[in-house]
Amino acid sequence: MSDTTPPGMQPHPGFSEEERDAVYRAIFTRRDVRSEFLPDPVPDEVLARVLTAAHHAPSVGFMQPWDFLVIRSPAVKARVQALYRQANEEAAQLFEGEKQATYRNLKLEGIVEAPVNLCITCDRRRHGPVVVGRTHIETMDIFSSVCAVQNLWLAARAEGLGVGWVSIFHQDALRDTLGIPRDILPIAYLCMGYVSQFHARPELEKAGWLSRLPLEELLHFDGWGGAAGEADGALLGALGKVGVNPEDDRRSTPGRR
């Protein structure tokens, strides 16, 4: 068979069934980790793979607006944790009664316990004021940086690493603590490391804070609020056949490479 692949393109080899299933397994067993971190160091080659995966996220206009701050210093972690504790106390006051009591019992960070902390940022001025694809939706660069977070999170899960996203900060205080320039936006502060286990279900779901919404209730057809037509019945039927039961996954305990 002759090679008809255009110059600059690669042939599409597809994924084997096992490779496809591995992608979905990483998605369905990804967790926001707070309290299961082990002290084991993250090897540089593993961290390099995870960061490279993040750097290959899609970005508007290919502007790649992200930077990655790698934090290992216990002193820096302690300063960041102090910022979290102040903001977390403020957050607790926003809830009332039983909800506040439940909130106070939640562990929402693993800043000091995690061997590696990462701060992913967004440089909104990178490559100039006019960016392909950001001309009408100005926040597309922020969304791009979030894609980098998701790439990193899934790659970390495939490596047996847990990741926790800490968002209870005053952004300006976090900027000052990490020396981030004022025109750079902190997007995500992540705790990362090997863990003793991955929870079968998200911790907030297990704690009774909220439950996962049924996907069927979130679908609209041909417009907001549009009901499923005759042609959509097969899709709705297929949703019920998608198996997502991490509790049956006996391989969820992270291994070592």
Q: List, run by run, the mean pLDDT of 10-residue segments along the chain (257 residues).
A: 69 89 96 95 98 98 98 98 98 96 94 98 96 96 98 98 98 98 98 95 90 94 93 91 64 38
**Separation CA 125–CA 68 (nearest Å):** 16
Q: Please report the pLDDT score of residue 44 as a whole number.
A: 98
* The predicted structure's pLDDT at residue 247: 56
Q: Classify strands 161-166 and 116-123 as parallel, antiparallel or unpaired.
A: unpaired
Calpha distance 123→141 (Å, rounded): 8
From the CA atom positions of the chain, what is the Rg in Å? 21
Q: What domains can be seen in the chain, in order of their start residue?
A: 30-206 (3.40.109.10)
Residues 77, 80, 85, 91, CA torsion sign = negative
The counts of H helices and E strands in the chain are 8, 4
Interval 6-54: pLDDT, tens: 777 777 788 999 999 999 999 999 999 999 999 999 999 999 999 999 9
Q: Are 74 and 154 in contact (CB under 8 A)?
A: no
The reported pLDDT for the residue numbered 5 is: 72
